[in-house]
């Protein structure tokens, strides 16, 4: 066998390994969503076991708790229904039915031969990308709010659960006894028993293809549910006013004469569930949101592309937080989403969401000088190397372009104990400003505000974060 043939075979083998790794990673995320009802039920059972250990006299004082546990069970399948409807509309960019039964030593040798940091993995496309390197993430026959696109980075770190659990919020809920609640039964699975008629799920949601995932992965699902309230519920308006409103006002001031024929361009790295990017687009900008997390991307695609009306779905996002509740009804109250119909919100043509690592996607030479504005909101501290973020932002802005930043410096990788080589460059605000000046930025305005993050306004504890 010739040398060229051997090299071709090796390249094909590595491509298959990379694709298998990505399929396995995406299955793990989907499995985390599908494991939500089981994990939520186990949490209720844990509460019940604690209650049963109480002395009889203490039980008598808290005799309402078994009824509360049943109400929690009644809420779980409501959340599960939303999750499963969301997954049914997701079109994976990979063949999820392919065999990923690869020898462990093959995977390890493949990773050891590459130059990845611990926790990173190579990604391989399942289909040839378009000329701009992007492949479709979601296609829909319904109202499509711009293109939702996904560009696969060459290297992507494993997602970490970095969201702050700072409380909950919602609207009132009244119960009449246990009406409508199951009687001491395990929660209904996401595949049925919700009172809603479901269409057939896609083949790749077959239970035989799902993985057992650790509870930390399901915790990310709970974080997504809280983030939905922040971005897409009336109850999140206070936080949006704290975080998004100053950014929107500044864009209005900096670009007062926006042309419909040639709108200014704005990039929003770390766009999360897409609300800020949508609001910027509605101001008359060609706006693109960029998001790394598949947990976020799957959910934002569903809300942006498949919501038919405002307040179409009802979720119970606070049932998993037993701490600092003023009352059980506060914890059990429903939240209607989305608060607006995204497809009729008045976005500018060209609104899009791009999935992928910010560094990998926007280091592309085609991105140099492409943007009139870059908006970073709760994003800078997600960097392994914050200097690299600022460097890229400086390069992709047009001459005279504007960078607007708001958010804390919590540094998501600062406390990754047990991962000795996990890179985390943690600078003070003073040093961040020095770096920005080095890359040619001039500070026109700077101020500090206090804001919350996925916080319940009715909670006994309010956690505020200083943002600049």
pLDDT over threshold 90, residue 60? yes
Rounded to whole angstroms, how far apart are CA atoms 219 and 159? 12
pLDDT of residue 445: 84
pLDDT bucket at 99, cuts 50 / 70 / 90: low
- 143/22: higher pLDDT: 22
Query: Residues of the chain with pLDDT > 90: what percent?
Result: 54
pLDDT of residue 352: 95
Average pLDDT score over residue span 401-424: 80
Q: Which two tokens stand for residue 118?
A: 């611990």
Average pLDDT score over residue span 349-354: 94
pLDDT over threshold 90, residue 336? yes
- Range of lowest pLDDT (97-111, 314-328, 335-349, 358-372): 97-111
pLDDT bucket at 451, cuts 50 / 70 / 90: low
**Most confidently modeled range among 109-123, 369-383, 434-448:** 369-383
- Range of lowest pLDDT (73-77, 174-178, 343-347): 174-178
pLDDT bucket at 94, cuts 50 / 70 / 90: confident
DSSP-based three-state secondary structure for 165: coil
pLDDT over threshold 60, residue 283? yes
- Range of lowest pLDDT (38-47, 49-58, 87-96, 289-298): 87-96
pLDDT of residue 417: 62
Q: How much is the mean pLDDT over the chain?
A: 78
pLDDT of residue 132: 32
Residue 201 has what DSSP assignment?
A: P
Per-position DSSP letters for 132-164, written without gaps between them: TS-EES---SS---SEEEE---SEEEPP-----
CB neighbour burial string for 122-139, b if at least 16 within 10 angstroms, e if fewer? bbbbeeeeeeeebbebbe
pLDDT of residue 95: 78
pLDDT of residue 314: 97
pLDDT of residue 120: 31
Residues in the chain: 468
Rounded to whole angstroms, how far apart are CA atoms 419 and 433? 29
pLDDT over threshold 90, residue 401? yes
Average pLDDT score over residue span 233-248: 94
Contact 227, 120 (CB under 8 A): no
pLDDT of residue 156: 31
Contact 281, 287 (CB under 8 A): yes
Rounded to whole angstroms, how far apart are CA atoms 387 and 431? 10
- Range of lowest pLDDT (90-94, 198-202, 392-396, 456-460): 456-460
The structure's pTM equals: 0.78
Q: How many CB atoms lie within 10 A of CB 324?
A: 16
End-to-end CA distance of the chain: 62
The order of strands in the sheet holding 135-136 is 135-136, 147-150, 352-355, 286-291, 265-269, 371-377, 397-406
Which residues contact residue 173 at a Cβ distance below 8 angstroms, ignoring those fewer than 6 apart? 329, 332, 333, 334
pLDDT tens digits along 171-188: 222 223 333 343 333 333
């Amino acid at each position: 066998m010739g040398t060229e043939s051997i090299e071709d075979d090796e390249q094909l083998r590595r491509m298959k390994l990379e694709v298998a790794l990505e399929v396995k990673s995406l299955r793990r995320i989907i499995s985390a969503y599908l494991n939500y009802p089981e994990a939520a039920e186990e949490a209720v059972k844990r509460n019940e076991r604690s209650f049963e250990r109480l002395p009889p006299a203490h039980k008598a004082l808290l005799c309402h708790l078994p009824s509360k546990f049943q109400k929690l069970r009644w809420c779980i399948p409501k959340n599960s229904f939303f999750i499963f409807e969301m997954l049914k509309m997701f079109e994976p960019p990979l063949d999820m039915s392919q065999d990923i039964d690869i020898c462990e030593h093959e995977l390890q040798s493949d990773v050891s031969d590459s130059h990845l940091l611990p926790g990173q993995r190579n990604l391989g496309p399942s289909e040839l990308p378009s000329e701009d390197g992007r492949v479709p993430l979601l296609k829909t026959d319904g109202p499509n709010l711009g293109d939702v696109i996904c560009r696969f980075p060459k290297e992507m770190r494993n997602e970490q659960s970095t969201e702050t659990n700072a409380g909950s919020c919602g609207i009132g809920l009244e119960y009449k006894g246990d009406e409508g609640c199951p009687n001491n039964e395990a929660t209904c699975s996401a595949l049925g028993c919700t009172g809603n008629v479901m269409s057939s799920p896609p083949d790749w949601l077959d239970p035989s293809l799902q993985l057992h995932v650790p509870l930390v992965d399901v915790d990310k699902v709970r974080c997504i549910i809280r983030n939905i309230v922040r971005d897409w519920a009336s109850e999140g308006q206070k936080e949006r006013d704290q975080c998004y409103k100053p950014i929107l006002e500044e864009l209005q001031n900096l670009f007062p004469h926006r042309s419909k024929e040639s709108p200014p361009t704005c990039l929003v790295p770390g766009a999360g569930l897409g609300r800020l990017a949508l609001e910027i687009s509605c101001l008359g900008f060609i706006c693109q949101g960029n998001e790394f997390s598949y947990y976020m991307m799957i959910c934002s695609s569903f809300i942006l592309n498949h919501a038919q009306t405002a307040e179409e779905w009802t979720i119970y996002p606070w049932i998993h937080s037993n701490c600092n509740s003023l009352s059980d009804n506060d914890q059990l109250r429903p939240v209607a989403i989305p608060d607006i119909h995204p497809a009729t919100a008045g976005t500018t043509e060209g609104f899009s969401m791009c999935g992928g690592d910010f560094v990998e996607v926007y280091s592309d030479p085609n991105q140099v000088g492409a943007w009139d504005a870059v908006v970073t909101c709760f994003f800078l501290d997600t960097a392994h190397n914050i200097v690299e973020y600022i460097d890229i932002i400086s390069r992709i802005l047009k001459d005279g372009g504007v960078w607007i930043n708001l958010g804390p410096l919590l540094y998501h990788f600062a406390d990754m104990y047990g991962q000795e080589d996990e890179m985390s460059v943690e600078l003070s605000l003073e040093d961040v400003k020095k770096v920005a000046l080095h890359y040619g930025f001039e500070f026109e305005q700077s101020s500090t505000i206090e804001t919350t993050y996925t916080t319940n306004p009715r909670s006994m504890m309010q956690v505020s974060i200083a943002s600049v």
